[in-house]
Amino acid sequence: MKFDAVLFDLDGTLIRIPNNFLDLLNNIVRDTCSYLGVELNGTDINELWFSGQNYKKILRKWGIKKTDYSLFWKKFDEKDLDLRKKLIKEGEIFLYDDCLPVLDKIKSQNGTKLGIISNTPHNKANFELEQFGITKYFDCKVFLGSISQEHAKPEPDGILWCLDRLNKFIKKNSLICYIGDSEIDIIAGKRAKILTAYVVRDHNNKILNTEPDIYLNSLHDIIDHLN
């Protein structure tokens, strides 16, 4: 099949993050809430990352004041960026070996456009892209999360925005695939009514409640579908 556009998630798909990265982010959430006078002892923080447009309800349930939502994300993003810089320096965050060869191969396909949609906010995502030298590959970049959390995956908004920006390059009813490493990626892709591919990495598994259209043992496998 010939894809007119191939869209990617970032963390865990193109860039390898530590297996305990979610725990590290949850610790930052606890510290940020503590800074705002709220203690989250025993609270399920993971629900925040899957909340999409419902994130305000969760912050409110935790006891974060509406007037502090922006400050919450500001403090969280500052600590998160510092963490990513530290982990990159220590070699704990790095580019997957299959990333560059696959991006090069797809980019060489006549007319195939590349996009990236990530729940990582723009300052952190752009830092990672520039750090690993892959910014140049993408015709469209959409970064969500933090102050744009209501549009974050599993909401389809980011994918739809990316497709809208690529509209002048791709035809109506084009064949488009979104590749991710988590169930929220697959849900977002299906809500956007495009093909979905799930790449198996060392931090995830094949047990999903929402079935992708394609399973990939590595990004190299998508080349077989391109051909």
What pTM did the predictor assign?
A: 0.91
Is 91's pLDDT higher than 70? yes
- Omega before 154 within 30 of 0, i.e. cis: yes
CA distance 109 to 105: 7
Instruction: Report the Cα–Cα distance between both ends of the chain, in Å, rounded.
Output: 6
Q: Where are the alpha helices (DSSP H) in 63-152?
A: 69-89, 99-107, 122-131
Domain range summary for the chain, segments of one domain joined by +: 5-16+94-226, 21-89
Kindly give, in sequence order, each residue whose CB lies less than 8 Å from that of residue 171, ignoring residues fewer than 6 positions away. Answer: 4
Is 21's pLDDT higher than 90? yes
Strands (E), the chain: 5-8, 15-16, 94-95, 113-118, 140-143, 176-180, 195-199, 214-216
Is 173's pLDDT higher than 80? no
CA distance 221 to 214: 10
Per residue in 207-219, pLDDT tens?
789 999 999 999 9
Is 201's pLDDT higher than 70? yes
What average pLDDT does the chain have? 92
Task: Tell the CATH topology of 5-16+94-226.
Answer: Rossmann fold (3.40.50)
CA distance 143 to 156: 13
Per residue in 27-59, pLDDT tens?
999 999 999 999 998 889 989 888 878 889 999
